[in-house]
């Protein structure tokens, strides 16, 4: 049996990087898709290779269907196919509904909604039997925190696409799920928050801490590997936050 192959979007930092490193440790060859930071992408590849794994980095705008098709082309040319797609690329812009900048709304929806749809479309067309698609969502869709409306709306679309795609792939032996992290110690979450806010949100769940990228990567690894009977679900990985 040939080596299984994973594409991880947003794979150069945060949860995406942790997922890429974990899947490489699980024995998959990993194609790390990143938006623009060449140094971070190269560092992720080096980290994977330092532990004996195999990885390449490909720059791609996830909302550009031609770039995403080229990303899948590269994975197939380099490793022979695609078995796992982890879509972790996304942006988070916060603000109240009353005051939210609509240009910022369009920018976030382009990345989070169109990007998810474009990546899912290529995955649906090209993933091999026995594969898994894992999209990163958010627990804020359930927690309903003020200033998160626009972001939560964009991630609600991720849940919808994931659950419906799981049904559309009937007969393909491919699972599709969303993982919804709670507050997680990444730059995406920490940037712009003061220490008091971070401490308050850290204690919002019964485990009284922020999640780590590795916590979420564990869930991704399960869904990409042994969790074959979990399909068409949104898994809330948030330490028990309500």
DSSP 170-189: TTS--EEEEEEE-SBSSHHH
- Measured CA to CA, the distance from residue 197 to residue 83 in angstroms comes to 39
Query: Is there a catalytic annotation at residue 236?
Result: no
Q: What is the pLDDT of residue 201?
A: 84
3-state secondary structure 113-137: HHHHHHHHHHHHHHCCCCCEEEEEC
- Measured CA to CA, the distance from residue 44 to residue 234 in angstroms comes to 27
Q: What is the pLDDT of residue 198?
A: 86
Taking the chain (242 residues) in runs of 10, the rounded mean pLDDT of each run is 89 96 98 96 97 97 98 97 98 96 98 98 98 97 94 97 98 98 84 84 89 96 97 96 80
CB 79, CB 31: distance < 8 Å: yes
Query: Where are the domains positioned within the chain?
Result: 5-184+213-228
Which CATH class, in words, describes the domain spanning 5-184+213-228?
Answer: alpha beta
The pair of three-digit structure tokens given for residue 133, joined into one six-digit string: 């698609």
Q: What is the pLDDT of residue 30?
A: 98
Q: What is the pLDDT of residue 213?
A: 95
Of the candidates 186, 200, 92, 89, the residue with the CA atom closest to the CA atom of residue 140: 92
3-state secondary structure 56-83: EEEECCCCCHHHHHHHHHHHHHHHCCCC
- Measured CA to CA, the distance from residue 7 to residue 36 in angstroms comes to 17
Catalytic option among 34, 148, 151, 236 = 151
Note if the pTM is more than 0.85: yes
Give the contacts of 9 (CB within 8 A, at least 6 positions apart): 16, 33, 60, 62, 85, 86, 87, 88, 89, 115, 119
CB 43, CB 66: distance < 8 Å: no
The pair of three-digit structure tokens given for residue 197, joined into one six-digit string: 């806010």
Give the contacts of 211 (CB within 8 A, at least 6 positions apart): 181, 182, 183, 184, 185, 237, 238, 239
How many Å is the maximal CA-CA distance in the chain?
Answer: 55
Task: Please give the helix or strand (H or E) that residue 209 lies within, else none.
Answer: none
Tallying the residues shown for the chain, one arrives at 242
- Measured CA to CA, the distance from residue 192 to residue 215 in angstroms comes to 23
Q: What is the pLDDT of residue 202?
A: 85
Specify which residues 86 forms β-bridges with. Answer: 8, 134
């Amino acid at each position: 049996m040939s080596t299984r192959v994973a594409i991880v979007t947003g794979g150069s930092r945060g949860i995406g990087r942790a997922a890429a490193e974990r899947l490489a440790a699980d024995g998959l060859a990993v194609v790390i898709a990143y938006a623009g930071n060449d140094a971070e992408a190269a560092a992720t590849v080096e980290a994977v290779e330092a532990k004996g794994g195999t990885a390449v980095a490909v720059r791609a705008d996830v909302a550009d269907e031609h770039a995403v098709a080229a990303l899948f082309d590269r994975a197939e040319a380099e490793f022979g196919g695609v078995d796992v797609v982890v879509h972790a690329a996304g942006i988070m812009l916060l603000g109240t509904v009353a005051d939210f900048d609509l240009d910022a709304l369009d920018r976030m929806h382009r990345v989070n909604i169109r990007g998810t749809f474009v990546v899912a479309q290529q995955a649906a067309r090209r993933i091999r039997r026995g594969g898994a698609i894992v999209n990163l969502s958010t627990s804020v869709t359930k927690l309903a925190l003020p200033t998160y409306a626009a972001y939560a709306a964009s991630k609600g679309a991720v849940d919808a696409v994931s659950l419906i795609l799981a049904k559309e792939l009937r007969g393909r032996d491919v699972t599709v799920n969303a993982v919804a992290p709670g507050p997680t110690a990444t730059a995406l979450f920490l940037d712009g928050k003061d220490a008091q806010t971070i401490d308050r949100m850290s204690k919002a769940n019964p485990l009284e801490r922020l999640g780590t990228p590795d916590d979420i990567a564990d869930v991704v690894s399960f869904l990409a590997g042994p969790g074959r009977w979990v399909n068409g679900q949104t898994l809330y990985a948030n330490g028990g936050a309500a």
